Structure formats: C-alpha cells, structure tokens
Chains A and B, each alone.
Chain A
Amino acid sequence: MGLSWMAWTWQTGAFFGVIALLLIGMSLWEMKDPGGNPRRGVLGLDTTRGDRLFITLLGSAYINLAWLAILGPSLGWAMVLCLVYAVLVFRYV
C-alpha cells in the first residue's frame, strides 16, 4: 500500500519532519542532562523541558492562527514571533 492516499506535500512533510527532529533533539538533550530540568516559572507552574516544548508548539499554533485571522496570509513574521515566544518559554516558563 502506497502513501498516496495521505496526500503528502513537501510543506507538510517538512512540518512533521521538524517536529520529529525536535522530539529526537529533546531525547538527546534528556540523555545528556537527565531529569528534564524541572522548575517553577513565571506562570507559577512546575514545568519540565517537555512541558515547555508542548507549551511552545501549542502557543505557536495559536500565534499563527491569530496572525492569519488578523493580519493576513503571509506568515513570515508570525514565525519570527513564534521563535521569540519559544525562547521566552524555554527561558522563563
């Protein structure tokens, strides 16, 4: 059975590829520095590295949707905003 029914495009392939790479990267990070670096951040939540990645990905999805709804279809600057958001989440949350 081929995968043609899944209707892949290189864009969505790249999207899932990046997520897979992120997960592999997080696993390697965990092997190098086990325990997930738990801490209590600015939100008053106890988070580990994995939680911070989840918050980053979910938040990024919402940032992109809000950008589409308010500012239109070119998402270049939304991606920059997501990266800034990711840095802030991994630094302070």
Chain B
Amino acid sequence: MTRSRVPGLLAVPAALAVGFLAVPLIGLLGRTPWGSIGAELTSPRVLEALRLSLVCSLGAVAVSVGLGVPLALLLARVDFPGRNLVRALTTLPMVLPPVVGGVALLLAFGRRGLAGQWLDRAFGITLPFTTTGAILAEAFVAMPFLVITVEAGLRAMDRRFEDAAATLGAGRWTTLRRVTLPLIAPSLGAGIALCWARALGEFGATITFAGNLPGVTQTMPLAVYLALETNLEAAIALSLILLFISLAVLIALRDRWFPSA
C-alpha cells in the first residue's frame, strides 16, 4: 500500500458526506413495502406513468440528438463570433431552476407566448397540456447535458484523423459520418445516457409547462409527487423504479466516470 498524502482528518467530513448521500437511499429501501410492491408496480396508474415517461424521455433524447449534436459540432469546430455567448446561453438550462424553465417555456411556447401564439394562429398547434409539450420541457432541461458531453468529446479527439480523411479525398459529410462520429461514439453514448437520465427525472419544467394529466403529461416524477400526498406505497414503488434506472445509468457509465475501477 502506498502511503497517502491526504490529511487524516479529512476522513470525518468525507464519512459525513457518504452518510448524507447514502442514508436517504437506505430510508427509501427501508420503507419499501416489498410484500405489495408487485401489485403497486403493475397498477394501471404506475404502468401508465412508466409508459409515458419512456415515451417522453426517449422523445426528448431524439430532439436533443437531432439538434444538440449539430450544435456541439459547431461549438467545437467553427470559430464564429459570439461562440462563448452561444455556449453559455445553451448550457443555461443546466443551472436554471426547472420551474423557471417551465415559466419561460410558457411565455415562449404557451398559447399567448412569443412563438406559441403564432403556432396557434398559423397551424392551430398548442403545446401546453400535450405529450409533445412534456417532451419539449424535458428536452429543454436535458439537451445541454448532451451538448457539453459531445463537445468535450470533439475537442479531446485527435483531429489528424479528420485531416487525413480530407487529404484522401473524403468530403465533409463523408468525414463526419465515417471518421468523426465513430470516433466520438463513446462521448455521444455518455451524452445520450446523461441526457436521458435527466429527461426521465424532469419535474419542474414539465408540471409548469405541460400540466399534469395521467396518460398525457403525468410522467413518473409527477406521479411520485402526487402519489406521495395520498398513497405513500405507490410513491415509494415509483421512486424505486427511478432509483434503479439511475443506478443502471451510473453503472453503464462507470468506465467513463471511474476510469481506474
């Protein structure tokens, strides 16, 4: 064993940190009604919320990949004026309280919102209270996770491969498709996983912008919140599903986050 140079007394706050982060999870597991959990998990309300959560979070990932990967490419490869401003603006939803994001979405895409009133008048499309609205709310908070992960991957990648492909006559699209994207596949995968986990857990922007209706906009976090007020067992069962999904994402990403392990 090598001698550690870390001051010994740091063990105390470190142990407190472990306890602080782990005890709530133990509390959740301790209160789980294991006997009736099967019934809770297969109740129509839970299944509906689960289905809707999968639809919305995968939809949000699709939106994020479709728009976020091109954005990450531009941010990483093109030196345009105001790039730092654009980067700051597009990562803002990561630190913005989600409820504030929901209010902002209402003012932008609501029936009376900046873009929303135009959508309503021109196409008769209104987004609040729809599943599409829930997908947009989730994409709003989750896309930045994908963008910064992919951008970091693009910056870390060895650009000589791209140069070599270009020298050998590959066009820009071919280089992107055959060289760049395969090389950043691990970052893209990690970005998708993070983005999906964030979308799955989204609460504030969704309930503010999309409202709460079982089967339409009531995703799992909303169902947990409302179940907590009347049916603690159902709330714990739903929480457990979210806990295990989060764990699975963490395990899938462990090589990236804990490279030595």
Q: Do A and B come from one complex?
A: no
